Copies of this chain bind each other. A is one copy, B any other.
Amino acid sequence: MISQTVEYALRAIVTMAQHEGQPCTAKKLAEITQVPLPYLSKLMQGMVRGGLVTSQRGLHGGFLLTNDPKNLTIFDVINVVEPIKRILHCPLNIQSHGTNLCPLHRRLDNAMAATEKVFRETTVAEMLSQPGSVTPLCEDKKMISLGLGSAAGVKSKPAARNAKKKE
């Protein structure tokens, strides 16, 4: 129901939000989100084109969120990555139906509308760690700031240079 592409994109977006304005390289994002680097890079390009993310070049370059996580919703991300295909008219092109959906397609579209509503109302800020909950995508906030998600298979090594290289 929620595609892997959408889930991966949300992992990347949440990771960027956790870095609070600090640029994230594709390699770092791929490690933390456990998304294969080529797949992640393609996703990031799409999100740059879609205006969700900006790309900053140079030594301390990387990807940054365009908007404040408080103003960015799950729906905004899905809408760029893989928009929900609502049923706006009869998928069988039955002339007399037109935009007057039959009960089958009305119910399917209603279910999509309800999900869309939840996603429109949920911001990225709300998906970050909350009191009493686990930190998204990582065991430890400190490890995120070092770019050492569990993804890198590192649990006790203290510095980024020790991170196991996957690529």
Contacts and interface: CB of A to CB of B under 8 A. Distances in A.
Given A74-B107, A100-B133, A111-B119, 20 more contacts: A1-B85, A11-B92, A11-B104, A33-B92, A92-B137, A94-B137, A94-B138, A94-B150, A97-B139, A100-B134, A101-B134, A102-B129, A102-B134, A103-B128, A103-B129, A104-B127, A104-B136, A107-B126, A107-B127, A111-B118
Interface in A94-123: 94-97, 100-108, 110-112, 114-115, 118-119, 122
Contacts of A59: none
- The A interface, classified by DSSP as helix, strand, loop or mixed, is loop
Contacts of A105: 136
Interface in A22-46: 33-34
Contact of A126 (B10, B93, B97, B103): B103
A118 B110 contact: yes
Interface of A: 1-2, 7, 10-11, 14, 33-34, 74, 84-85, 91-97, 100-108, 110-112, 114-115, 118-119, 122, 126-130, 133-139, 149-151
A94 to B, nearest CB: 5
Contacts of A74: 107
A64 to B, nearest CB: 19
A108 B138 contact: no
